[in-house]
Structure formats: C-alpha cells, structure tokens
Structure 1
C-alpha cells in the first residue's frame, strides 16, 4: 500500500499519522477513527434531545412518520419551498408537535453540519498530503535544499488554509451546539429560531456557556493550541496566507526526494505569532506546518470529543 507521508515522501509508512486511500477512494489515517467516534456520539446526542422534547422516542418517530416532508424546508437543496412558503406555513395555527418537530430538524441540521466539517477536514487534509507527496510537485529536481513556489503550490497550500478555517468553524459550531443543549426549548407555541442563533453564539462568546473553562474541552482560555488555531485562522482570513509567498522547501540527494516541508512562523509560549512592529513572520524555530497541522487536528478532535461527552451527560 502506498502512504502519503507527512514528510512529503510517498511510499512506505513513515509516521503513524500517514494517509492512504481505501478501496472507495476515501482518505484514511488514524485520525479517521475520530469520525466514527463522533458519529456515534452525535447520533446518541440527537436521539437524547429528541427523547427530551417528545418524552419518548416512540412519540418522536410517530410524529416523524407524518411530518417527514417538513424536515428539509429551508435547510436543504432537496426542498423547493420558498421563504414565503415557509413563512406562511409556520405563521399558521399549527399543533405543538409540529413546532417541536421543526425545532428538532434545526438541531439535527446543526449536528449534521458538525459531522460534515469533521469529514471535510480529514478529506481535504488527505488530498493535501497526496499532492504534497507528488514527486512532480517541483519540476527540475536539484540536489540539496531549495525553496519552490508556483501556481500549483499556491493552490496546494490553499488546501491547508481550508483545513485551518474549517477547524475554526468547528469551534463555532461546537459553541452553538453547547449553547443550544444548555438551553433546550420548553415552550413550543410558535416557531422560533434556535437559541444559539438568537444570541449569535460563536466560540468568542464561550463565556456564555456553562461548559466554559471545562478542562480538556474546546473552551479552555489557557489552551495554547486553541490560541494557535485562532491566530492562524485570523491571519489567513485577513492576509490570505501564513507566509507572504506560498512556498514549499524540499531536500534531495542524488536526485531522490528526502523531505518536503512548509515553514510556520515562530510562536510564543501562549500560541501567538512572534511580532515586532509590523513584522510577524519570523522563522528562527524552523517549525514545520505539515507536521504541526496533524498535531493540531488531533488535539482539536480530542477536545471536541470531550465536549460532546459532557453534552451527553447534560441531556441525560
């Protein structure tokens, strides 16, 4: 089996986090185990919320069999209803069970978005490493160290940027989900937006969460990894890239590729970029982003898993 390794050299597995493709073309690595764990936990969470709102799962399924056509209106391209159609529907005098069902649809949609973000992170990361391992990524191989920049490398590094932005989205989705679970609705006399959207909950408003500062969760203010993620996300959003020139370094010996890497600007102990004046791209630590991104994803996933565990306890 061919592995897409973190050092950019395709072939035998060189790291316990290397990626490979399965028989249906999905990118896999040990990180993939988290997706199965999250899927089970989030399904359990959704079922517990449904039971909490309807009293029993049987009651929920009885209503669901009748109201199933409503679940995708305004949430999915599978529904062709207009906003005016939906407004007319929810402004009509509807039974409480229908408003409950619409509410649970929207929580389910929030949970589904979380699962999609997690899957997207892993698949884009796998795609990045497959191309990062391409022997023809840098043409005209030259022995020794060299730096390579090209339109293809710019597009390649954009994949890493996408992963970092999606990790930031996971923080925001987690904050929304926690707030909603902590404030589950008890009155269903009318249609209302989710509480997390009423209060525009994002990770930056984590102080509104009862789980704020929970050890090992996504809401610890002293976590250098969470600070690091936010620093990178903000730099990408405002500056476009982490480096002024998207580029890859590689080492060859006798024409054979030995290593590729992307340098990450220096960080201080709190996870923030080292800065002086207008300058924030210092590289004295020679930190490799292609390695650090795996460590960061792993920690964020572990913290997300801890967060979901606590949500399950809250709903039970």
Structure 2
C-alpha cells in the first residue's frame, strides 16, 4: 500500500541503496574482474543459510563450500553477501513497521468493537473484544519491531566501522553478537540526530519493548475506548500508561497509571515520523563511514 503523503519512506529506501553501493565499492572496488567473479557466484553462496529460497541444511552447505574451495574470491563472496543481508534485514524491518502502522489504523477506524445499538447513552465505553485484542497486539508489535530496527542498524554500524579486508578464510561478521545496548562502543556513538545520541524517542521505545518482553502487558486486558456524543461514536482511542523521566509511574507494585490520558493513537504517526528522521540520519552516518 503506497503512502497517501510523503512520509519519508522513499528517501529511507534511497539511503539503504547508497549503503549497498558503498559496500560494493569497498569490498569489490580493488578486485580485478570483480563483476565476472560475482556473476559466476553459485546460488548457494548467495542464499543458503540466509533465506528459504535455498532449502539446504548446514551440512550440505559445508560440503558445497568444500567442493568450491578453489572458487575465485569465494570467501569475499560469502562475506559480501552476509553484509548485504544486514542491510536486507533492516530494510525488511522498516517495511514491516510501515505495514503494521497502516494495519493499526485500519483496525482502529474500520473494525466493529461493539454490536450496533440505537440510542447509545453519551459517555465512554470500553471493548476487550477479539478485534480489540488484535488492535493492541498490533500496537505492541510496532514497538517491538522499532526496537528490532535499533538492533539491526547497530549491527550495520559496527560492520561499517570494522569492515573485513582479509579473506584468506571466511570471516565472521564483526557485528554478529552486537545489539543496540553495545552502541557505546561505536565511533559514531553520540552523532547528533541519529539513534546513537540520547533522546526521548529511543527511551520510550526501550521502555515499552522491555515491558512487553520481560514484565507484562501495558494494561490488564487489551482495550479500545469509544466516546459517545449525541448517540454517535465521535472518537476511538487506546490509552498509554503515565511516564515520568523515562519510566512508568510506580507506587510499590503498581506501574500502570492512566491519569494523563495519553492517547497513543493520536501521537503515534508523529512518533513514527520522528523515528524515520533519526533512521535516515543514522543511515547517512553509516554511509559516510563506508565512503
């Protein structure tokens, strides 16, 4: 589904393409006959162990590698594809976030959370129906994938700063065990406008993701609220817990307060747009490292 307005996704994809081209130049620019070598690359080097298009197991892959031990630039081919896979993963995650965001608003605005009833009394009503469950699950998945993208871009940044040059053996990715929490070890850590400087947006993503993964849900049940005025639905919203200084407000064991009436559906588009702006700045910083 194409965006109804310029939300920056095409510019983001262009930044990814620049990184692909920069990786190609860094890894292959000085290799004589590089294009011919790459064109002759067997499909298993491109896809085995990376995607389901090449359905071979690990032992078969290892046997293939031994049989092609004299393939020119075999180890460089393997490593270059691994680096491309880092970019692929970040691109796929970016598309997933956009799709989930569209799905969230299709559900919020298009689903029936209550049966049709004439003469509704004015006020606010709550639904925890299966449709509401799907809506809230979609919202939670958005924040989980936002954090996944932070991890993926951290890996890509680490690889850009530590790109391999020795291909006597098949080199392991420098970023293979890195996550967003390791960003403090990046040379580009603290770069203004990127994910690698301290900012409230990233803090909220980490807070929500960690709550969902480790500590529990953001409400006792999945809920969507409807406001009724003059017998008609005038608003639908999902409430977000109160936060102070980057933490959920807490009293002993109670961590889910809603006195601030933070309607996440009202600010989510701007939140994701701000995320996209930082993503593009981060991709540009990675591109400059490779250039």
TM beyond 0.5 = yes
> Aligned partners of 1:214, 1:135: CA distance in 2, in Å?
42
> Aligned partners of 2:59, 2:186: CA distance in 1, in Å?
34
Residue 293 (structure 1) shift: 2.4
Residue 117 (structure 1) shift: 0.6
TM-score by length of 1: 0.85
Q: Could you tell me whether the CA contact under 8 Å between 2:111 and 2:131 is conserved in 1?
A: no
Q: Name the structure 1 match of 2:63.
A: 88
Q: Name the structure 1 match of 2:190.
A: 213
Residue 144 (structure 1) shift: 2.1
Q: Name the structure 1 match of 2:21.
A: 47
TM-score by length of 2: 0.92
Please, which of 140, 145, 153 is the counterpart of residue 174 of structure 1? Answer: 153
Please, which of 133, 144, 165 is the counterpart of residue 154 of structure 1? Answer: 133
Q: How does 1:145-294 map to 2 (within 5 A)?
A: 145-197=124-176, 200-221=177-198, 223-268=199-244, 270-294=245-269
Residue 272 (structure 1) shift: 2.0
Q: Name the structure 2 match of 1:296.
A: 271
Tell me the matched-pair count.
286
Closer/same/farther in 2, CA of residues 151 and 95 from structure 1, 3 Å limit: same
Residue 132 (structure 1) shift: 0.6
Farther off after superposition, 157-166 or 239-248: 239-248
Farther off after superposition, 50-59 or 143-152: 50-59
The reply to whether residue 77 of structure 1 matches residue 52 of structure 2 is yes
Q: Could you tell me whether the CA contact under 8 Å between 2:241 and 2:262 is conserved in 1?
A: yes
> Aligned partners of 2:131, 2:239: CA distance in 1, in Å?
17
Please, which of 33, 38, 47 is the counterpart of residue 64 of structure 1? Answer: 38
Please, which of 82, 94, 97 is the counterpart of residue 118 of structure 1? Answer: 94
Q: Name the structure 2 match of 1:8.
A: none
Residue 136 (structure 1) shift: 2.0
Residue 91 (structure 1) shift: 4.8
Greater RCO structure (CA 8 Å; 6+ sep)? 2
Closer/same/farther in 2, CA of residues 249 and 58 from structure 1, 3 Å limit: farther
